[in-house]
Amino acid sequence: MTAAATRSTAHSIVEASPRAKAFAGGLVILYAVITILPLLWIVATAFKSQSDAIAYPPKVIFEPTLEGYVNLFTVRTRQTPDFIAKLPPPETWYDKLVRKRDMVIAGPSKVVPRFVNSLIIGFGSTFLAVFLGTLAAYAFSRFRIPLADDLLFFILSTRMMPPVAVAIPIYLMYRQLNLTDTRLGMILLYTAVNVSLAVWLLKGFIDEIPREYEEAALVDGYTRLQALRKVVLPQAVTGIAATAIFCLIFSWNEYAFAVLLTSGEAQTMPPFIPFIIGEGGQDWPAVAAATTLFVVPIVMFTVLLRKHLLRGITFGAVRK
Amino acid sequence: MDTMTTILQPDHATIPGVSTPAKSRAARRVHGLSDRAIAWLFVAPTIALLLAINIFPLIWMIRLSFTNLNLSMSYLPLRFVGLDNFRDILADEDVWFRLQTTAQFVISSVTLQVVVGFGLALLINRQFRGHSFWTTIILLPMMLSPAVVGNFWTLLLQPQIGPFNHLISLFTGVPPSSFSMTGQVSLAPWTIVLVDTWMWAPYVMLICLAGLRSIPDYIYEAAEVDRASAWRQFWSITLPMTVPFLMLAVLFRAIENFKMFDMVNLLTSGGPGSTTELVSISLKRAAFEKWRTGYSSALAIILFVTVFGAANIYVKTLNKVKQR
């Protein structure tokens, strides 16, 4: 029996008939289309004018405009048509767009600082988590550590904690340490949550690198640290990259801690997006524009991560 | 050669000044730190961070749960009230109602996700043309931020301007503005189940797919030789062999749904009334709106103990899956 040759399909001699395959494919494509529709609607809404976005019935065909994006990035004030008429002609396309609605741009909105917060907190916590996680994972993979299983369970269980439950004492602790609403506080917090995933994932990746490579390096007179740096790390680089992206996605998407522990200075995108208010209620095109910008990196990473997705969501225990 | 040295000088390795072949333990100690020191040095920062940001607050929370602390009235003297908070919670009908709401949500949501996810996995396992492209699209929702998902579904589900109601009316003829998915007591819980399934059925699918691909071919080949029907093969091979993976998906989704906060907070924020007020939402209200810190700490401990118990089972299931 040639198991290796037939591994690609589960039913090798029970290979599905072309009709069954077409039927399965049709259903899956139908489901995928239903999945993607809400996202496409949001991307489309970002290019609608405010009146098109709240039209009844909802508009599928509309004239695209960048108003949503302009509204997202600016704060505007309403002026009388007379006032607008007296102004010098608009210098830029976005000034023009805004003046059509009898408004002038008063200044930038808060979206850029929020986005920058997301980037700093995301990358900062990812870097720290991956750094600490790599060290710990290497130790768990290569050395005999007393109570290793219990420690690993402890590390994993911290990720299972309900954020709303631990937010109270963390809030009190951060108030004492002057860490509330600071980037540092959020970086430390997200590092703590991410490090559990990093340890579990990276341990799996390092376990797969044969020990013989290091043994050989040690024989050649390398120290453990040199062997780690020059032999193990280069081989674990794909795993480390995948782990980093998973950590980044987590801190990028996190909402509960962000909404409970930040109010301004260190606020990230997820708590900010729902509160983009325009004149007379929620400015849906601007909200949709923010959502689109926020989601684009995630979509790219998902495509990149396809192969590692399963590992990432099961803490490295299940492999494809 | 290697065995020779160990036989000849088993204990001499630790004698100072005696140079031994590089492969023995002593040699590693000669160049740099000992393995044991490195192990501790590498694990310690992670453990220290987790102790500082998880365990220390947890202990603080346990202490607070025995007090009457109310942060909006922190001028009141801090008084230890023993188990009063726990007694209040367990005697409060509202809390039991929230737990019931949460349980209903967890059960219906996880059931739906398992049915949809497992079904999809069976279909995708057929490996039709282009299946990896479509799989990636299906996997997208679970990578998104639950808060952002809750937010944009709010738009999609608006009775007047949202496309969802119009789509429903297209198929059923019910006027689109006659019902509100998030604003109606009868519909709001199902809306949450629906959006949660849209987001997380792919998760169940991915794990089931791993389960299906872990079944060795020869079992199906043997079944084919015995002329077992496709139906029979499904019930006696496919299903039992994916059960550990299904368990994993069920457990993880149950844990996540039990502590669910972000998506619901944005989609319905517990409403209308309190029809979708899950335990975590009412916990947030008690802690950050009413500032009843002592009381909410006690509630948090109850929530935490439940999740911790489930996490324990999760790890056991993980190990079971790993052994295969």
Q: In this predicted model, what pLDDT tens digit does every residue of A251-294 receive, in sequence order?
A: 999 999 999 999 888 999 999 999 888 777 789 999 999 999 99
More confidently predicted of A101 and B277? B277
More confidently predicted of A127 and B226? A127
Helices B93-124 and B188-213 sit at what angle, rounded to 10 degrees? 40
Decide the pairing of beta strands A277-278 and A74-78. unpaired
Q: With CB atoms and an 8 Å threshold, state whether A162 touches B300.
A: yes
Shortest CB distance from B148 goes to which of A41, A162, A270? A270
Q: With CB atoms and an 8 Å threshold, state whether A28 touches B123.
A: yes
Alpha helices in B125-186, H assignment, sequence order? 131-139, 146-156, 163-172
The pLDDT value given to residue B7? 35
pLDDT in tens, A15-57: 677 888 888 899 999 999 999 999 999 999 999 998 888 888 8
Residue of A nearest to B169 (CA): A57
The beta strands (E) that lie in chain A are given as: 74-78, 103-108, 277-278, 281-282
The pLDDT value given to residue B30? 46
Size of chain A, expressed as the number of residues it contains: 320
pLDDT over 90 at B205, yes or no: yes
Residue of B nearest to A132 (CA): B46
The pLDDT value given to residue A15? 66
Start-to-end Cα distance in chain A: 22
Tell me phi and psi for residue A145, to 5 degrees: -110, 130
Residues of A in contact with B144 (CB under 8 A): 253, 295, 298
Q: With CB atoms and an 8 Å threshold, state whether A58 touches B162.
A: yes
> Which residues does B264 contact at the CB level (< 8 Å), separation at least 6?
B150, B192, B270, B276, B278, B280, B281
Q: How many CA atoms lie within 13 A of B206 on its CB side?
A: 30
Mind spelling out the 3-state secondary structure of A194-224? HHHHHHHHHHHHHHCCCHHHHHHHHHCCCCH
Residues of B in contact with A158 (CB under 8 A): 50, 54
d(CA B288, CA A170): 13
**Could you tell me how many helices (H) and strands (E) chain B has, helices first?**
16, 0
Residues of A in contact with B313 (CB under 8 A): none
Q: What is the ipTM of this complex?
A: 0.88
CA distances from B86 to B97, B100, B101, B256, B294 (A): 16, 18, 20, 24, 10
pLDDT over 60 at B3, yes or no: no
More confidently predicted of A53 and B17? A53
Q: Which of A199, A314, A315, A319 to mutate to test the interface with B (most CBs of B within 10 A)?
A: A314
pLDDT in tens, B136-159: 999 999 999 999 999 999 999 999
Structure letter (DSSP) for residue B236: I
The two tokens of residue B159 are: 């009775």
Residue of B nearest to A192 (CA): B50
pLDDT over 80 at B178, yes or no: yes
Tell me, what amino acid is at A86? K
**In degrees, to the nearest 5, what angle opens at C-alpha B89 toward C-alphas B84 and B94?**
150
Residue of B nearest to A29 (CA): B134
Helix (H) or strand (E) holding A73: helix A67-73
Residues of B in contact with A287 (CB under 8 A): 151-152, 155
Residues of A in contact with B38 (CB under 8 A): 139, 143, 224-225
pLDDT in tens, B164-176: 999 999 999 899 8
Q: With CB atoms and an 8 Å threshold, state whether B23 touches A218.
A: yes
pLDDT over 80 at B285, yes or no: yes
CB A182 within 8 A of CB A265: yes
Mean of the per-residue pLDDT values of chain B: 86
Residues of B in contact with A22 (CB under 8 A): 128
Q: Which of A168, A261, A302 to mutate to test the interface with B (most CBs of B within 10 A)?
A: A168
Q: Which of B40, B99, B155, B209 to mutate to test the interface with A (most CBs of A within 10 A)?
A: B155
pLDDT over 70 at B312, yes or no: yes
Minimum distance, in Å, between the CA of residue B44 and any CA atom of chain A: 8
What is the three-class DSSP state of B119? Answer: helix
pLDDT over 60 at B31, yes or no: no
CB A173 within 8 A of CB A257: no
Q: With CB atoms and an 8 Å threshold, state whether B147 touches A271.
A: yes
CB B230 within 8 A of CB B122: no
Residues of B in contact with A173 (CB under 8 A): 56-57, 60
Shortest CB distance from A314 goes to which of B125, B126, B207? B207
Q: Which residues in chain A come in under a pLDDT of 50?
A: 1-13
Characterise B263 by phi-psi region: left (phi > 0), alpha (psi -120 to 50), beta (else): alpha
